Amino acid sequence: MATKEELLKAKIPCPETGIEIRHTLCDICSPGSHCGIDAYVKDGVVIKIEGNKNHPLNRGLLCTKGASNRQYIYREDRVRTPLKRTGPRGSGSFEPISWEEAYQTISEKLLGYKQSFGAQSVFFFSGYSKWYRPILQRLCYSFGSPNYGTESSTCFTSGLMAWETATALPARPDMRNSRLFLGWAHNPYYTGYLSARNTERLKKQGVKFIIVDTMYTQTVEKIADLFLQPRPGTDGALALAIANELITNGWVDYEYIEKYVHGFEEYAEYCKGFHAGNIEALTGVPCEKVKQAAQMIHEYGPMSIRESSAPLGHHANGMQNYRAIMALSAITGNYDRKGGQTPAPFTYTHQSSGYHTWEHKFVREARKSSMAAAVGAQRFPLWNELEKEAQTMDLARQIRQGTPYPIKALLAFGMNFRMFPGSDQHMKKALEELEFFVDVDLFMTDTAKYADIVLPACSSFEREEFKSYPGGYAYYTKPVIPPLYESRPDTDIMCDLARYMNLNDPLLKAGYRACLNYILSPISYSVEQLQEADTPLKVPEFHPHEEYATISRGLNTPTGKFELKSELIASHPEWGLDPLPTYRAPYEGEDETLYPMFLTEGGRLPNALHSRLHDVSWLRTLRPKASAEIHPEDAAAHGIAEGDLFELSTANGSITVTALISRRIPRGMVSLYHGYREANYGNLIHQDRLDPYSGFPAFRSSTRCRISRKGEAHE
């Protein structure tokens, strides 16, 4: 028999040790994951975590980031109480205040700005976290402001807009029924380990893989049958050239095109400009590879495509490139076809789970048509038309210039100024100039230091939350430990503020659960029933969107067809945008002599997640220094050895990074991860390098650069 000490040491859950296993989810990375977690809890403290074996998504697995949850939630810099700023902005001088005082001050201030400058002068912002977003959006609209805007102004939405333009619906690849998978900017080994596993399974089953990536990645190494390596941001030209090859050879589905595709003739004519004579010069991809890709698409249908909307959207021509890639599925009849691209309407917070909720109704019913245009509406009219929320890439400008109307106050949940291009010179300045700034975060971040009031949020381990998963699953978690210090769930803060400001919104004032029960009206389960179950439940209303017949019933586009030529864009010539997926080269108009190399960044790392994990020691030790990858020949030409420090400069600024010499990257290119406090890439790029279609910043091909050695690294 094991002694109590032995049981405790082994962290065995049993009455003798008092250790219990409780279930929750990891919300460190993309909401596309949010794996199920078993938290071992003793005396209100999480002492160990594991993947939950019964969770329908991860089935017991966890990634490096997820495995570090204990370090993450117990970070030393957790905000402990509400705080009021006492020193200059950015200084980090605060004094604790009560929740009562915080709520009173915030309510008075926000209502005061509403009275004097109109409700639109108050901006409601969300960083990467998604779980509370419908509540925040409704709070914003019930307050009377159109200015709800999020991090999604730089992530995912660009691809969504491309789909909305063409089909009026989001879509996803029906990979498990495909014979050919086209992974365009797709490296799940780093960004979605569960999907890497699926990919390997399909590979074993004989599915063919084309991978298009600017770098030689694990996916290329393990999976690719054909690898195309374009220069960053030249993907549109490459896709148009593949289309031209398909069309020239008659390898397109004319019957399908005739019935379901709009604008084919004009598009086919445009594709003729991308051919054997110019494609290598335009993209760096030899013409032979373009021909091979077309041949494989012809031979191995059905084909599904995964176009990642971060690396493809992060260019000044990003959305058009994405449209050009999607077009390949239309002309080959692979849209809305088994094994091709399946329409996938959203269930909740952009997850397609195969059942319907009232999320949209919940948010939209609070929005009045008389509201002013949101931030960014004038500058990014297509974004405004399709997304109907603020484009946050225009927020700093509007704060600083005050046009078309002033922004006086910002209520932000998890804001990180380093996620914006021109971080220091533009967004940080805007925060300095703002009259009133509230930031709600788990941690005392550099951004929070600019706030007038900081409120402590709690982590997913300390709150209850609703989450929908693919395959018809609904989950409502229980807190596994009480909120640390005086922290509170974001949604409680939002609903409390609705009460303090006495907004005319009884549902919001009734709290998160009441809102959720309303949103979940179309399904059989109440929040209480879901919570009782303690693990995700399959809802009876699950209805997989796989009947492959949406297009024959007519799409909700102006022509009812898949629009290669967007009639929405064509009907607004004043926007100055092209209805066809036209191509424009990146890095236009830069001095090649002064800045001979290309800079790309943001390509994900397995141990980093934006700004969240740079301060988590287990993860930081995997790559302790802010490093940039360069090709061995470039390193040699500049006298740079592995581990040396070098200066990376653009027309916008310089940072110092550690050299990682690697053949993953092509010659002439520098690549690094973003968001390091000591080497922030966001400072190297100009805030106005934005895609006119989506408003997305050109993180991945914004600028040319040069490098010079600074010396050996010091410990």
Ligand X SMILES: Nc1nc2c(c(=O)[nH]1)N[C@H]1C(S)=C(S)[C@@H](COP(=O)(O)OP(=O)(O)OC[C@H]3O[C@@H](n4cnc5c(=O)[nH]c(N)nc54)[C@H](O)[C@@H]3O)O[C@H]1N2
Residue ranges binding Mo ion (CB under 5 A): 155, 310
Shortest separation between residue 612's beta carbon and ligand X, angstroms: 4
557 binds, among Mo ion, ligand X, none (CB under 5 to 8 A by kind): none
Tokens 């236009």 locate to 588
For residue 262 the two structure tokens come to 């709009």
19 binds, among ligand X, Mo ion, none (CB under 5 to 8 A by kind): none
Q: What's the CA gap between 487 and 459, in Å, rounded?
A: 9
Give alpha helix (H) positions in 501-553.
506-509, 512-519, 527-533
Q: What's the CA gap between 297 and 221, in Å, rounded?
A: 21
71 binds, among ligand X, Mo ion, none (CB under 5 to 8 A by kind): none
Nearer residue to ligand X within complex by CB, 213 or 505: 213
For residue 218 the two structure tokens come to 């694990």
Nearer residue to ligand X within complex by CB, 171 or 212: 212
DSSP bridge partners of 706: 649
The Cα-based distances of 261 to 170, 256, 266, 306, 345 in angstroms read: 17, 7, 12, 20, 20
Determine the residue with CB nearest ligand X: 602
Shortest separation between residue 434's beta carbon and ligand X, angstroms: 18
351 binds, among ligand X, Mo ion, none (CB under 5 to 8 A by kind): none
456 binds, among Mo ion, ligand X, none (CB under 5 to 8 A by kind): none
Q: What's the CA gap between 647 and 659, in Å, rounded?
A: 10
Nearer residue to ligand X within complex by CB, 256 or 437: 437
283 binds, among Mo ion, ligand X, none (CB under 5 to 8 A by kind): none
Do the beta carbons of residue 618 and residue 68 sit within 8 Å?
yes
Q: In the chain, helix, strand, coil percent, each to 5?
A: 35, 20, 45
Nearer residue to ligand X within complex by CB, 407 or 419: 419
329 binds, among Mo ion, ligand X, none (CB under 5 to 8 A by kind): none
Nearer residue to Mo ion within complex by CB, 155 or 480: 155
Which residues have CB under 8 Å from 402's CB, separation 6+?
Answer: none
Shortest separation between residue 397's beta carbon and ligand X, angstroms: 17
Which residues have CB under 8 Å from 532's CB, separation 6+?
Answer: none
| Torsion region of 144: left, alpha or beta (phi above 0 gives left; psi -120 to 50 gives alpha) | left
Shortest separation between residue 528's beta carbon and ligand X, angstroms: 23
Among the listed residues 49, 112, 54, 137, the one whose alpha carbon sits nearest the alpha carbon of residue 371: 137
Shortest separation between residue 602's beta carbon and Mo ion, angstroms: 9
Nearer residue to ligand X within complex by CB, 341 or 445: 445
Give the three-class secondary structure for 410.
Answer: strand
Shortest separation between residue 308's beta carbon and ligand X, angstroms: 3
190 binds, among Mo ion, ligand X, none (CB under 5 to 8 A by kind): ligand X
Shortest separation between residue 117's beta carbon and ligand X, angstroms: 26
Tokens 């609209």 locate to 141
Q: What's the CA gap between 571 and 566, in Å, rounded?
A: 9
Q: What's the CA gap between 570 and 556, in Å, rounded?
A: 16
In degrees, to the nearest 5, what angle opens at C-alpha 231 toward C-alphas 226 and 237?
Answer: 80
Shortest separation between residue 480's beta carbon and Mo ion, angstroms: 27
Shortest separation between residue 310's beta carbon and Mo ion, angstroms: 5
SS (H, E, C) 243-310: HHHHHHCCCCCHHHHHHHEECHHHHHHHHCCCCCCCHHHHHCCCHHHHHHHHHHHHHCCCEEEEECCC
Rg (CA), the chain: 25
Nearer residue to Mo ion within complex by CB, 113 or 322: 322
Shortest separation between residue 708's beta carbon and ligand X, angstroms: 22
Nearer residue to Mo ion within complex by CB, 380 or 699: 699
The Cα-based distances of 653 to 241, 400, 423, 590, 711 in angstroms read: 36, 21, 11, 14, 19
DSSP bridge partners of 23: 38
Nearer residue to ligand X within complex by CB, 382 or 685: 685
Nearer residue to ligand X within complex by CB, 566 or 611: 611
Among the listed residues 119, 113, 688, the one whose alpha carbon sits nearest the alpha carbon of residue 374: 119
Which chain residues interact with ligand X by CB under 6 A? 29-30, 127-129, 151, 154-155, 184-185, 187, 190-191, 212-215, 217, 230, 232-233, 235, 308, 310-311, 413-414, 416, 419, 440-443, 445, 457, 490, 600-606, 608-612, 674, 681-682, 699-700
Nearer residue to ligand X within complex by CB, 241 or 440: 440
700 binds, among ligand X, Mo ion, none (CB under 5 to 8 A by kind): ligand X
Determine the residue with CB nearest Mo ion: 155
E-state strands within 279-435: 303-307, 341-343, 409-413
163 binds, among ligand X, Mo ion, none (CB under 5 to 8 A by kind): none
Nearer residue to ligand X within complex by CB, 183 or 536: 183
Please give the backbone phi and psi of residue 255, each rounded to the nearest 5 degrees, phi first. Answer: -65, -45
Shortest separation between residue 552's beta carbon and ligand X, angstroms: 32
Q: What's the CA gap between 535 and 149, in Å, rounded?
A: 32
For residue 644 the two structure tokens come to 């040396």
Shortest separation between residue 671's beta carbon and Mo ion, angstroms: 17
Nearer residue to ligand X within complex by CB, 539 or 661: 661
145 binds, among ligand X, Mo ion, none (CB under 5 to 8 A by kind): none
Shortest separation between residue 636's beta carbon and ligand X, angstroms: 23
